[in-house]
């Protein structure tokens, strides 16, 4: 299962690092990281990870724009995406559904279960 | 079901292995008690079949040790010894059953089945999932009553899933459960078996997704809907408790422990950034109190509170996270903040300040109590213990990383660029490298062939202690790798020096004098000749529970206060705690009160000379092992020799540059700390063996 790769897009270096640890150790994922949306889009296109963990509050290009661009691109449209957000607004939830988001995880997340949450979301995602 | 067969007679072992594997058991065979013990340490067995007469470690002693180590799996003795006294000894040692050679194979299998049944609290005749059914005694597997024709491995795989409902098995866990060590395949073999199994189950009418892929984790039987579960079933669909049962649970638990430990380590390096974020909030608070919060600072404070809410929550400081969220909410947007909200903001920032201070203080307190030193284990590949060692340590929640070249390890620690003495000084005391090290680093490299021969013309650390060879140049040669091509042994030496608390355990296949001499080039570390996995694991556990002290307290005695003042300034910059004494008359009281890690003595002093003080310390049992370094401007060789006769560990010149002085002191203290740790481990090992 070590071939499974996940891309974390989060501007906070501490959160990126903590998430990386949890996913690598608990979930045995290979982790790719991007600190902004543009970097995230580029890595997603060229590395084609098995899943993307996307923070909504990003500097510059925000998470929602990144999500839409990922879905518009034929090379990334089928990658399962898990959203990280402090609080999902009602209008955002509708967009998440339309854009076939695999799961929405509220920040701050529980580091001991995030790997299970992602695994569970991806096992039921129609994009897998 | 995994069985360990410990039998020294190869022909008997061969027959029993065949009979048991024909019954779909996974069987590991050990031909001696020692090998059996290594296997027990590395894997979970459901049953052990044990011969009584074994070379090295006999069956009864083996069994006794098993029970002493709290292993509870059933043990079946198989032996030609029919004497009642032997049977009684076997049962007293903790055996569950006894069968005497010659015996009927059917009787042996019946006893094995009976013992395995006892592992379960209730007698189970069949395992079921939906319409899939496995009869325990006949081992018949059916779907809707129709027999399934599977290969033995496919059959064993279904049995594994049926016996552990809901549990997710990684491919490696499936290999560990279904293949013996001698014929373990690659993970792709599991994938291929799973595909074949899914196809056959689907052909028999089972749902296509009955064996579910849990993304990034492994495989399991798809959990049944709650209503279709038998009423008496104790399990729920996604019960974490169920997932943690069985052979895979140790790995899952170990991963949770490792994640927790890794997060705690990470917190140490990120906590300072949180203070920087707090500082922005404090600035904002000051402006709020004066009535005007600048737009840019408000944005910046908003982002800081957002980051703090996320980071503190992840690292377990829930109250701080909630407080930061509250601040974020109050700072959101651009509309002017109402007087009431301004007050709430000030209060919340003050509260967060307090929480963060407490969180950091509490963490530091915990760190001081629980810090363990990273451990480097050098293993000769000829020993063939690395794989077992990794598995065993992993199962005990110890983080492990394996390297085959010391250069790769150095690269990981970014040491390859530290070639100048100035660089060396920067890295000598820094704990940065320790943060990214796992608990144990295994360096699998042949000590006899890959490491360079000791260069007896080059002064090493031990030789530096000879008074006649103490020169600034010799010190520089020893402590800095300024050569462009780093030789393996010197690279390892440099690595050990640069990570102050790194402990080394050398496991050599060859205990020759040549190898032992090479090992001494690296300083005072543990050297084992042909150790087994159990011994290495035990030692690692002991070393981890007796880490070398990280304290760096020096008592410097010199009658010249100016020299002491200069020394204190030089050493304090490198985080040494220096206690100075310019009055030798008060030496003994100061020594007792300060309990230093190293004593730095001037030689020529009024009232008492440094040599007299050194002799006095060496005579006191409590202080016999305290490292003593003379610090002198005197170049009289006779005086130097007298200092070493009095018991000095080293003698260094006062004119030595800072980097070299620090390198000397650091090495001396590390050596002393390691010797104390080794002494504690030796003591524990001796008592556990006696």
Do B575 and B603 share a domain, yes or no? Answer: yes
- What are the tens digits of pLDDT across the range B233-248? 333 333 333 333 443 5
User: In the predicted model, what is the mean pLDDT of residues B424-431?
Assistant: 39
Residue B118 has pLDDT above 70, yes or no: no
| Mean per-residue pLDDT of chain B | 75
- Boundary residue ending a domain (B370, B403, B437): B370
**Is the pLDDT assigned to residue B96 strictly greater than 60?**
yes
pLDDT of residue B420: 39
A33-54 residue pLDDT tens:
999 999 999 999 998 999 999 9
Percent share of chain B, pLDDT over 90: 8
The verdict on B489 and B563 lying in the same domain is no
The pLDDT of residue A72 is 94
- Would you say how long chain B is, in residues? 690
> Residue B465: its pLDDT value, please?
37
Give the pLDDT of residue B436.
53
State residue B165's pLDDT score. 72
Residues B264, B201: one domain?
no
Give the per-residue pLDDT at B412: 65
Residue B362: the pLDDT is 62
What span, in angstroms and rounded, lies between the C-alpha atoms of B499 and B491? Answer: 12
CATH of the domain at B475: 3.40.50.2300
Q: Using the beta-carbon criterion (under 8 Å), do B256 and A26 form an inter-chain contact?
A: yes
**Residue B303 pLDDT more than 70?**
yes
pLDDT value of position A111:
85
- For B660, the domain range is 553-688
Query: Residue B170: phi, psi to the nearest 5?
Result: -70, 165
User: What gap in Å lies between CA B251 and CA B606, rounded to an integer?
Assistant: 65
Instruction: Give the CATH number of the domain where residue B340 resides.
Output: 1.20.120.160
Size of interface A-B (CB pairs under 8 A): 95
- At residue B438, what are phi and psi to the nearest 5 degrees? -75, 180
Query: Which of B69, B100, B119 is the endpoint of a domain?
Result: B119
d(CA B652, CA B602): 10
Q: Among B522, B509, B379, which residue's Cα sits nearest to residue B442? A: B379
CATH of the domain at B177: 1.10.10.10
Q: What residues have CB less than 8 Å from B323, skipping those under 6 apart?
A: B348, B351, B352, B355
In the prediction, which pLDDT does B7 show?
87
Report the C-alpha gap between B146 and B133 in whole angstroms: 10
Nearest to B311 among A12, A21, A25 (CB): A12
Most B-contacting residue of A13, A26, A62, A126 (CB-CB within 10 A), to test interface: A26
Chain B partners within 8 Å of A123 (Cβ): 212-215
Higher per-residue confidence, B641 vs B430: B641
Q: Of the candidates A4, A27, A57, which has its C-beta nearest B306's C-beta? A: A57
**pLDDT over threshold 60, residue B430:** no
pLDDT tens digits for range B372-392: 557 888 888 888 888 788 777
Residue B238 lies in a domain: no
B581-623 pLDDT tens trace: 998 888 999 998 888 889 999 988 888 899 999 999 988 888 8
The span from the CA of B16 to the CA of B23, in Å, is 11
Residues B385 and B359 in one domain: no
* Domains identified in chain B, total number: 5
Helix, strand, coil proportions of chain A in percent (round to 5)? 40, 20, 40
Query: In chain B, which residues have their Cβ closer than 8 Å to the Cβ of A57?
Result: 306
Q: Dig out the tokens for B383 from the structure.
A: 């020993």
| B677 and B561 housed in the same domain | yes
CA distance B253 to B397: 8
User: Lowest-pLDDT range, B43-47, B241-245, B341-345, B513-517?
Assistant: B241-245
Considering CB atoms only, which of A22, A86, A128 is closest to B259?
Answer: A22
Find the chain A residues whose C-beta atoms sit closer than 8 A to any C-beta of B.
Answer: 1, 4, 6, 12, 14-15, 17-19, 21-22, 25-29, 50-51, 57, 86, 107-109, 111-112, 115, 118-120, 122-123, 128
Radius of gyration of chain A (CA): 13
Give residue A43's pLDDT: 92
ipTM value greater than 0.90: no
Average pLDDT over residues B181-196: 79
What are the tokens at B94? 């903790």
Alpha helices, DSSP H, located in B554-657: 561-572, 587-594, 610-619, 637-646
Q: Give CA–CA dist B682/A24, Å, rounded.
A: 36
Which residues of B fall within a CB distance of 8 Å from A26? Answer: 255-256, 259
What would the pLDDT profile of B141-150 be if each residue is shown by its tens digit?
888 888 888 8
Is A107 within 8 Å of B309 when comparing Cβ atoms?
Answer: yes
> In this structure, is residue B453 part of a structural domain?
yes
Q: Which of B215, B263, B313 is the closest to A122 by Cβ?
A: B215
Same domain? B80 vs B27: yes
Residue B342, helix vs strand vs coil = helix
Give A75: exposed, middle or buried? Use CB within 10 Å, 0-12, 13-18, 19+. Answer: exposed
Domain end position, chosen among B370, B388, B421: B370
Among B216, B255, B260, beta carbon nearest to A119: B216
Whole-number pLDDT of residue B548: 60
Could you tell me which residues are beta bridge partners of residue B555? B579, B599
Lowest mean pLDDT across A31-40, B259-268, B454-463: B454-463
Residue A69 has a pLDDT of 95
Give dist(CA A82, CA A67) in Å, integer.
10
Q: Is residue B50 predicted with pLDDT exceeding 80?
A: yes
Contact by Cβ (8 Å): B519, B507: no
Which of B215, B220, B328 to mutate to probe the A interface, most A CBs <10 Å? Answer: B215
Residue of A14, A108, A115 with shortest CB distance to B321: A108
Q: What is the pLDDT of residues B643-670, one digit of tens each?
A: 899 999 888 888 777 777 877 787 787 7
What pLDDT score does A8 carry? 96
Q: Which CATH superfamily is domain A5-122 in?
A: Response regulator (3.40.50.2300)
What pLDDT, in 10s, does the model give residues B494-546?
A: 777 766 667 788 888 887 888 888 777 777 677 888 888 888 888 887 777 76
pLDDT beyond 80 at B410: no
| pLDDT of B470 above 50 | no
Q: pLDDT band at B450, cuts 50/70/90?
A: low
Residue B137 has pLDDT above 70, yes or no: no
Report pLDDT for B181: 65
Q: Do B217 and A86 touch (CB under 8 A)?
A: no
Tell if the CB–CB gap between A25 and B216 is shorter than 8 Å: no
pLDDT at A79: 93
Do the chains contact at B262 and A51, CB–CB below 8 Å?
no
- pLDDT, average across residues B343-347: 91
Which residue in A has a C-alpha nearest to residue B251's C-alpha? Answer: A26
Q: Single out the residue of B451, B542, B449 nearest to residue B495, CA to CA.
A: B451
Assess if residue B99 is contained within a domain: yes
Per-residue confidence band for B172, with pLDDT thresholds at 50, 70 and 90: confident
Tens of pLDDT, residues A48-87 = 999 999 999 898 899 999 999 999 999 999 999 999 987 7
Closest alpha carbon within chain B to A122: B215
Closest alpha carbon within chain B to A128: B215
Angle between helices B295-314 and A13-25 (to 10 degrees): 20
Nearest to B314 among A57, A111, A128 (CB): A111
- Name the helix (H) or strand (E) containing B441: strand B440-444
Going from N- to C-terminal start, the domains of chain A cover: 5-122
Chain A closest CA to B266's CA: distance in Å? Answer: 7
B465, part of any domain: yes
Give residue A2's pLDDT band: very low, low, confident or very high (50, 70, 90): very low
Q: Chain B window 275-334: which residues touch A at a Cβ cutoff of 8 Å?
A: 306-307, 309-315, 321, 325, 328
Chain A residue with CA closest to B264: the answer is A18
* pLDDT the model gives residue B201: 87
Handedness of CA A46, A47, A53, A59 (dihedral sign): negative
Contact A12 B315 (CB under 8 A): no
Chain A nearest CA to B221, separation (Å)? 13
Q: Which range, of B20-24, B85-89, B213-217, averages the lowest pLDDT?
A: B213-217
- Does residue B362 belong to any structural domain of this protein? yes
B265 has pLDDT over 50: yes
> Do residues B107 and B139 both lie within one domain?
no
């Amino acid at each position: 299962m070590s071939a499974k790769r996940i891309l974390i897009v989060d501007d906070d270096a501490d959160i990126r690092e903590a998430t990386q640890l949890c996913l690598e150790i608990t979930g045995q994922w290979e982790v790719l990281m991007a600190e902004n949306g543009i970097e995230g889009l580029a890595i997603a296109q060229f590395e084609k990870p098995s899943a993307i963990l996307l923070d909504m509050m990003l500097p510059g290009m925000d998470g929602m724009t990144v999500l839409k661009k990922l879905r518009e691109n034929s090379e990334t449209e089928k990658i399962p995406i898990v959203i990280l957000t402090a609080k999902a607004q009602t209008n955002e939830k509708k967009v998440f559904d339309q854009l076939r988001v695999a799961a929405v995880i509220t920040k701050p997340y529980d580091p001991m279960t995030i790997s299970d949450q992602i695994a569970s979301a991806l096992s039921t995602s129609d994009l897998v | 079901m995994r069985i360990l067969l410990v039998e020294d007679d190869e022909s008997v072992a061969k027959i029993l292995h065949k009979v048991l594997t024909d019954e779909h058991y996974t069987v590991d065979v050990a031909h001696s008690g020692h090998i059996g013990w290594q296997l027990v340490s590395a894997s979970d067995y459901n049953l052990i079949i044990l011969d009584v007469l074994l070379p090295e470690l006999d069956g009864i002693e083996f069994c006794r040790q098993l029970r002493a180590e709290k292993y509870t799996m059933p043990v079946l003795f198989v032996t030609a010894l029919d004497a009642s006294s032997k049977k009684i000894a076997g049962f007293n040692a903790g055996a569950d059953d006894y069968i005497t050679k010659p015996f009927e194979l059917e009787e042996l299998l019946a006893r094995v089945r009976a013992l395995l049944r006892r592992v379960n609290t209730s007698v189970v005749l069949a395992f079921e999932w939906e319409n899939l059914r496995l009869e325990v005694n006949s081992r018949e597997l059916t779907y809707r009553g129709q027999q399934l024709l599977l290969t033995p491995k496919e059959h064993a795989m279904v049995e594994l899933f049926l016996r552990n409902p809901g549990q997710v098995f990684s491919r490696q866990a499936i290999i560990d459960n279904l293949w013996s060590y001698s014929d373990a395949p690659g993970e792709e073999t599991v994938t291929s078996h799973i595909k074949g199994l899914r196809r056959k189950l689907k052909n028999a009418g089972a749902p296509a997704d009955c064996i579910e892929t849990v993304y990034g984790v492994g495989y399991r039987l798809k959990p049944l809907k709650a209503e279709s579960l038998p009423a008496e079933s104790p399990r729920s669909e996604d019960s974490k408790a169920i997932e943690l049962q069985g052979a895979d649970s140790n790995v899952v638990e170990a991963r949770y422990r490792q994640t927790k430990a890794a997060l705690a380590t990470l917190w140490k390096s990120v906590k300072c950034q949180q203070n920087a974020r707090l500082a922005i909030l404090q600035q904002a608070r000051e402006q709020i109190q004066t009535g005007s919060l600048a737009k840019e600072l408000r944005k910046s404070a908003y982002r800081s509170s957002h980051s703090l809410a996320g980071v503190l929550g992840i690292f377990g400081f829930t109250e701080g996270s909630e407080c930061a969220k509250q601040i974020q909410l109050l700072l959101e947007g651009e509309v002017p903040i109402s007087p009431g909200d301004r007050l709430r903001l000030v209060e919340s920032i003050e509260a967060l300040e307090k929480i963060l201070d407490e969180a950091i203080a509490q963490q530091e307190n915990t760190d001081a109590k629980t810090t363990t030193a990273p451990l480097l284990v050098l293993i000769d590949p000829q020993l063939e213990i690395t794989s077992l060692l990794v598995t065993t340590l992993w199962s005990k929640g110890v983080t492990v990383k394996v390297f085959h070249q010391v250069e790769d390890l150095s690269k990981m620690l970014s040491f390859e660029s530290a070639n100048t003495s100035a660089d060396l000084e920067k890295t000598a005391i820094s704990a940065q490298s320790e943060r990214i090290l796992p608990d144990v680093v295994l360096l699998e490299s042949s000590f006899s062939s890959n490491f360079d021969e000791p260069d007896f013309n080059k002064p090493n650390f031990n030789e530096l202690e000879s008074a006649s060879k103490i020169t600034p140049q010799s010190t520089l040669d020893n402590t800095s790798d300024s050569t462009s091509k780093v030789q393996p042994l010197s690279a390892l030496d440099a690595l050990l020096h640069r990570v102050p608390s790194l402990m080394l355990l050398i496991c050599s296949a060859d205990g020759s004098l040549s190898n032992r001499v090479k090992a001494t080039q690296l300083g005072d570390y543990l050297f084992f000749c042909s150790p087994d996995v159990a011994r290495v694991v035990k030692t690692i556990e002991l070393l981890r529970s007796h880490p070398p002290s990280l304290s760096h307290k020096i008592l410097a005695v010199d009658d010249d206060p100016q020299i002491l003042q200069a020394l204190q300034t030089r050493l304090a910059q490198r985080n040494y705690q220096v206690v100075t004494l310019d009055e030798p008359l008060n030496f003994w009281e100061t020594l007792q009160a300060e309990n230093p890690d190293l004593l730095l003595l001037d030689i020529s002093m009024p009232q008492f000379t440094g040599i007299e003080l050194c002799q006095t310390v060496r005579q006191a049992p409590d202080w016999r092992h305290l490292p003593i370094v003379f610090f002198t401007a005197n170049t009289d060789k006779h005086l130097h020799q007298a200092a070493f006769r009095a018991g000095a560990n080293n003698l260094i010149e006062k004119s030595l540059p800072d980097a070299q002085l620090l390198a000397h002191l650091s090495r001396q203290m590390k050596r002393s700390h390691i010797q104390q740790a080794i002494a504690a481990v030796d003591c524990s090992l001796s008592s556990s063996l006696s």
